[in-house]
Amino acid sequence: MDDRESRLVGIFGGTFDPVHYGHLRIAEEIAEMTGLSEMRFIPAGIPRLRSNPVAVPHHRVAMVRLAIQGNPVFMLDEREVRQHEVSRSVKTLRELKQELGERAILCFVTGADAFMQLPHWHSWRELFTLCHFIVAARPGHPLASHRDTLPQKLKEECVPRWVSNGDSLKHASSGLIFIAPTTLLDISATLVRARIAAGKSIRYLVPDAVLDYIAVNHLYSKNDDTS
């Protein structure tokens, strides 16, 4: 592939229930350090390996739209919430590969914990033919310094794929793994929901526009309006 004509496209999936500053900071730093032309936020419809989201799809989509507005690199992709089936990353990546063409190099962004569960994903080995992986690993997480902690079959698959910097991703069409040294804020959607349910403030954990949307729609509270 002629890397002068290629572009890196970040794929950031998740339930975003709700989206918070932890998500946004990871996306911002990864886009900056790798030179992504765009970062696609793809809210999951029906997750396969975790419980269903608390908020219904249209609320989660609306919150992501509000959270990323004003950032020219960030964009919302609603394909998974529009499907009436379990979300599968391999299907999404196949579609994007076909839609965006061979000059688009897909970079799948995931957390270290999720990456270690990769062998449980549907058609997981095929993913390496469709995208690179950018793994956001918290400082001190075993994956950041001890790759031997990976499950054996995943470790064997990953041995030839590790790269030490984001620039390497531009020189191959897929199959590489970059551990991104990002600032991982100690924020989770579970924490945000719990604070709302307890009547506590979530200001500065989520963007103001998301905070206002949650309040107006009574999400995650005792008077939750998930319709």
Given a cut of 50, the residues of the chain with pLDDT beneath it are 3
Longest dimension (CA), the chain: 55
- The predicted pLDDT at position 77 comes to 98
Looking at the DSSP assignment, which residues form a beta bridge with residue 134? 109, 178
- Tokens describing residue 62: 């609306």
Cis peptide leading into residue 207 (ω within 30°): no
Residue 26 has phi, psi (to 5 degrees) of -60, -50
Domains and CATH numbers, the chain: 7-186 (3.40.50.620)
* Distance linking the first and last C-alpha atoms of the chain: 47
pLDDT (tens digit per residue) in 11-39: 999 999 999 999 999 999 999 999 999 99
pLDDT (tens digit per residue) in 113-123: 889 899 999 99
Alpha-carbon distance of 137 to 150, in angstroms, equals 13
Classify residue 75 by its DSSP letter: E
- The predicted pLDDT at position 140 comes to 61
The residue ranges of DSSP E strands in the chain, in sequence order, are: 7-14, 38-43, 74-76, 104-111, 132-136, 162-163, 177-180
pLDDT (tens digit per residue) in 170-194: 999 999 999 998 888 889 999 999 9
- The predicted pLDDT at position 46 comes to 82
- The predicted pLDDT at position 144 comes to 59
